[in-house]
Amino acid sequence: MKRTRIITLLASDHALDNVLIKGWVKTRRDAKDFSFIEVNDGSCLQNIQVVADQGLANFEAIKKLSTGSAIAVEGIMRPSPGKGQKWEVHAASAVIISVAGDDYPLQKKRHTDEFLRTISHLRPRTNKYGAAFRIRSKLSYAIHRFFQERGFAYIHTPILTGSDCEGAGELFQVTALNLENPPKTAGKIDYSQDFFGRPANLTVSGQLEAEMFALALGDVYTFGPTFRAENSNTSRHAAEFWMVEPEMAFCDLSDDMDLAETFVRHLVTYALDHCREDLSLFAEFVDKTLMDTLETVATKSFIRVPYTEALAILNRSGQHFNFEVSFGTDLQTEHERYLAETHFKQPVIIYDYPRTLKPFYMRVNDDGKTVAAMDVIVPRIGEIIGGSQREERLDVLKGRMAETGVPPKDLWWYLDSRRFGSVPHSGFGLGFERLIMLVTGISNIRDVIPFPRTPGNIEF
Ligand code: 4AD
Ligand code: MG
C-alpha cells in the first residue's frame, strides 16, 4: 500500500479505513493505555495525531520514541474528540523505521534563526522553515505559470560566462588553473592556458543573453541562479541568489513597469490563494502586519514617480537620513524604505534615473541626463526589481560603452543585435529571495534560501 500524504488526509471530508502514513515524530504524549504521537511528513504545516494503544505488539518501544524518529502507521482515520485537530489515526500497526538519537537538536523549544542557520541541513524540519520552503516552491511554480500562460519562452542562459562587463556586481572568477602555480607570461597569469582559453566568471545576470533571445522569440524569461561577490554583509544580499529576468521585444519602459507591477501583484495574490496555511504561521509569529502588507501589494496600483520627484519628496520630508540625496546620488535602502513605508505606504516604482548611476545598456532619455531605468520598491525590503528599456541605437550604445569603460570587442555579439533588426525592448530582474522575504515577512535573506552563501559562509 502506498502512503498517503498528511495534507491529503487532513483535507478529507469523511473518515477513512486503511490509511498508511509515513513521517517523523514531532512530539509524543503518553496516557495510561495510549501514546498520542504527533506525526508530520513535511507535506503541510499541520501534524496528524496518531493514537497508539497498548494492544500494539511494539507498544513499549513506541512509548520510548524520540522526537525526530521516523515511523510508518497503518490504521483508520476517525474524527478526533480532542481539541486542535479534526482527524486522528488509530494505529493498527506502527512500524518504527528509525530512531533519532536523543541529541537531535530540534527538540520542542523555540530556536533562534541564528542557531538554525548553523544546522541548515535540519532546519527545514521546523515548522517555520518547512513553511518558508513550501512557499518558495509554490512561488517558483507560479513564476513559470505566469510567463508560460502569457506566451513567454523560458531561456536557460549560461552560468559560466566570458563576459564580465554587465557592471551589475563583483564577479566570482572561475578557473581550472592550478592556483598554487599558475602559468605566467611576462609576470602575468596566462589565461590562454586556462580551461576556456580566457578568463571566465560566474554570471551576475542572464540579461544580455536573454536580450538576444527576446530579439528572436519576442517575449522570454530566465529563472536561475546568479552570483555576486559583493562583500556586503547585509540582510538583503546573498552571494548566490535566484533571479527572474523577463525580456520583451517591441516594448518600452512603460510596458516594462506594467509587466513588473502585474507580475509582483500576481505572485502575492497567488501566495494568498495557495499558501494560506503556511502564511498563517508567519502572520502569527514573524510579522503581525504581514497580511495587511500582502493585501496592499495585491490590490493597490503601484505609484510611479520619476527619480527627481523621489528626491524632492525625500528632501521635503524633514526626515534625517545617513546619506544626503541630490541629483546623481544613488538612493540607499533608507530612502527607498522611507518612500515605500512612510510616505506612500505601498509599493512604488521609481524611474528615469541619472545616466551616471546606471549601466551602459539602459536607454538614454531625450533629456540626455537620465536613462529609462526603473526600480520597484516595496515596504520592508526596498528594491525588489531593477529593470530598464534597453538602448537599441547602435551609436548611442557604443557611446555609452565608451563612457562606462566597457570594451566593445568583448561584446561584439551584443552589438550585432543592434545592427541586425534592432528594436525597442525592455526587461527587468526580480530578486527571488527578496520576493520570498516580502511574502513571508522573514527579514534575513539567509533564511529564505536553503543553503545560504554569504561572505565567509559556504558550509553544507
Ligand atoms: O538591479 P539588478 O542588479 O539588475 C540586474 O541585474 C539586471 N540585469 C536585471 C535586468 O534588467 N534583467 O538586480 C535585479 C534584482 C534586484 O532588484 C534585487 O532584487 C536582486 O536582483 N538582487 C539581489 N538579491 C540578493 N542578493 C544580491 N546580492 C542581489 N543583488 C541583486
Ligand atoms: Mg538594481
Please identify which residue in the block is written with the cell numbers 501514546: 35
Report pLDDT digits (tens) over 228-261.
Answer: 998 888 999 999 999 999 999 999 999 999 999 9
Predicted local confidence at residue 230, as pLDDT: 85
Q: Give pLDDT tens digits for 52-69.
A: 999 999 999 999 999 999
Query: Whose alpha carbon is nearest atom 15 of ligand 1?
Result: 431
Pocket flag, ligand 1, residue 392 (CB < 6 Å): no
Atom of ligand 1 nearest to the CA of 207: 12
In angstroms, the CA 260 to CA 349 distance is 9
CA nearest 312: which of 326, 297, 330, 332? 326
Cα(317) to centroid of ligand 1, in Å?
Answer: 28
Q: Hey, where are the domains in the chain?
A: 6-98, 123-168+204-447
Q: Is the CB of residue 206 below 6 angstroms from any atom belonging to ligand 1? A: no
Residue 356 has pLDDT above 70, yes or no: yes
Q: Which three cell numbers stand for residue 131?
A: 513553511
The answer to whether the CB of 245 falls within 8 A of the CB of 207 is yes
> Which of 243, 245, 264, 378 for a ligand 1 pocket mutation test, highest count of atoms within 8 Å of Cβ?
243
Q: Which atom from ligand 1 is nearest to the alpha carbon of 376?
A: 17
Which residue's CA is minimally distant from atom 9 of ligand 1? 429
pLDDT at 47 over 90: yes
Q: Is 355 in the pocket of ligand 1 (CB under 6 A)?
A: no
CB 51, CB 36: distance < 8 Å? yes
340 within ligand 1 shell (Cβ under 6 A)? no
Q: Ligand 2 is a single-atom ion; what residues have CB below 5 A from it?
A: 386
Contact indicator for 250, 214 with CB cutoff of 8 Å: no
**Percent of the chain residues topping a pLDDT of 90:** 94
Is the pLDDT at 51 greater than 80? The verdict is: yes
Q: Where are the alpha helices (DSSP H) in 95-198?
A: 113-118, 127-149
**Global pTM?**
0.97
Using alpha carbons, select from 240, 222, 230, 202 the residue that is nearest to residue 427: 222
Do 392 and 214 contact (CB within 8 A), yes or no? no
237 Cα nearest atom in ligand 1: 26
Counting every residue, how long is the chain? 460
Mean pLDDT of the chain: 96
pLDDT band at residue 109 under the 50/70/90 scheme: confident
CATH of region 6-98, choose from 2.40.50.100, 2.40.50.140, 3.30.2290.10, 2.120.10.30: 2.40.50.140
How far, in Å, CA of 368 to CA of 341, rounded? 32
Q: How far is CA 290 from the centre of its chain?
A: 17
* Ligand 1 within 6 A of CB of 264: no
Distance 237 CA to ligand 1 centre (A): 10
Q: Which residues contact 429 (CB under 8 A, 6 or more apart)?
A: 205, 207, 243, 244, 245, 385, 386, 387
In terms of CATH architecture, what is 123-168+204-447? 2-Layer Sandwich (3.30)
Grid coordinates belonging to 408:
566593445
Nearest CA to ligand 1 atom 7: 429
For the cut 90, the answer to whether the pLDDT of residue 1 exceeds it is no
Burial 431-450 (b: 16+ CB within 10 A, else e): bbbbbbbbbbbbebbbbbbe
What is the distance in A from the centroid of ligand 1 to the CA of 431?
Answer: 6
Ligand 1 touching residue 335 (CB < 6 A): no
Ligand nearest to the CA of 230: 1
User: How far is Cα 214 from Cα 220, in angstroms, rounded to an integer?
Assistant: 6
Q: For residue 166, what pLDDT band results from cuts at 50, 70 and 90? A: low
- 170-203 per-position pLDDT tens digit: 899 999 999 999 999 999 999 999 999 999 999 9
Average pLDDT over residues 371-379: 97
Our answer on whether the CB atom of 452 is closer than 6 Å to any ligand 1 atom is no
- Say if ligand 1 is within 6 A of residue 68 CB: no
